[in-house]
């Protein structure tokens, strides 16, 4: 049995994994899919002080309080930053890092460094009344849809879990200054259907930080693959468990 910890991306909540959790669990694995501070069942904690460091604390606290070890830590989108810094703090508890269509940072980088288009989102928030709330990306016509989701029923369901993102999440830097973090194996899963304008994916180096060959898998779907291709995503994750 492996322990999968699934970390949602910006604007989402832990509910986005509802189609994947039972599939992993039915294969005999422990699966945890929490909502980060400010989202889902933690929406009452939403505020301008919530940032990347808050979300890293969420993950580290959950792992240590539950005494989890050999964790397969999956980060979707923005959560690539979260899992990176979390692994930096407790590398001995992490067996594998999975970057699921995710930002893959270097030490000291913020979301703006990894995905420069996010600066536009921060600027728009600064011009709004609150100044720190970033609303979800708007829905586009197919094939882009809402975070790559185009089925009307799925779009409606996805809307029930989306909320604003604090700008500080995109400003705070990742910490990858613990040499032990570089020994952790990595897998990259890319959603390779149509990508919104301005979004760029960094090439994955041929060699992982731990010296082994890069492992990159692809899904022929949009960004929110846990909604559009839960079975196919699960099949890939099970290769690691």
Tell me the catalytic residues. Answer: 77
DSSP 188: E
- Residue 149 near residue 222 (C-beta atoms within 8 A): yes
Starting at the edge strand found earlier in the chain, the sheet holding 185-191 runs 30-32, 3-7, 71-76, 94-100, 185-191, 216-219
Determine if the peptide bond prior to 143 is cis (ω within 30°): yes
Burial of 239 (0-12, 13-18, 19+ CB in 10 A): exposed
Which residues make Cβ contacts (< 8 Å) with residue 195, sequence separation at least 6? 201
DSSP 232: H
Torsion over CA: 111, 5, 58, 158 (sign): positive
Of the candidates 78, 83, 103, the one whose C-alpha atom is nearest the C-alpha of residue 11 is 78
Measured CA to CA in angstroms, residue 2 lies from 24, 71, 142, 153 at distances of 10, 7, 37, 32
């Amino acid at each position: 049995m492996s322990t999968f910890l699934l970390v949602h991306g910006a604007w989402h909540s832990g509910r986005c994994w509802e189609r994947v959790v039972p599939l992993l669990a039915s294969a005999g694995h422990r699966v945890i899919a929490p909502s980060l501070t400010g989202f889902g069942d933690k929406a009452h904690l939403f505020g301008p002080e919530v940032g990347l460091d808050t979300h890293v604390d969420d993950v580290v606290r959950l792992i240590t309080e539950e005494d989890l070890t050999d964790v397969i830590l999956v980060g979707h989108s923005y959560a690539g930053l979260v899992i990176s810094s979390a692994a930096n703090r407790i590398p001995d508890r992490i067996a594998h890092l999975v970057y699921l269509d995710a930002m893959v940072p270097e030490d000291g980088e913020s979301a703006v460094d990894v995905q420069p288009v996010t600066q536009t989102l921060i600027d728009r928030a600064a011009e709004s009344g609150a100044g720190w709330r970033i609303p979800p990306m708007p829905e586009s016509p197919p094939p882009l849809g809402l975070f790559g989701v185009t089925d009307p029923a799925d779009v409606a369901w996805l809307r029930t879990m989306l909320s604003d993102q604090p700008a500080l999440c995109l400003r705070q830097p990742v910490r990858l200054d613990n040499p032990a973090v570089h020994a952790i194996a990595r897998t990259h899963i890319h959603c390779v259907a149509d990508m919104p304008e301005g979004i760029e994916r960094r090439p994955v180096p041929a060699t992982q930080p731990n010296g082994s060959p890069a492992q990159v898998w692809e899904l022929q779907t949009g960004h929110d693959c846990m909604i559009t291709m839960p079975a196919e995503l699960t099949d890939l994750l099970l290769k690691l468990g």
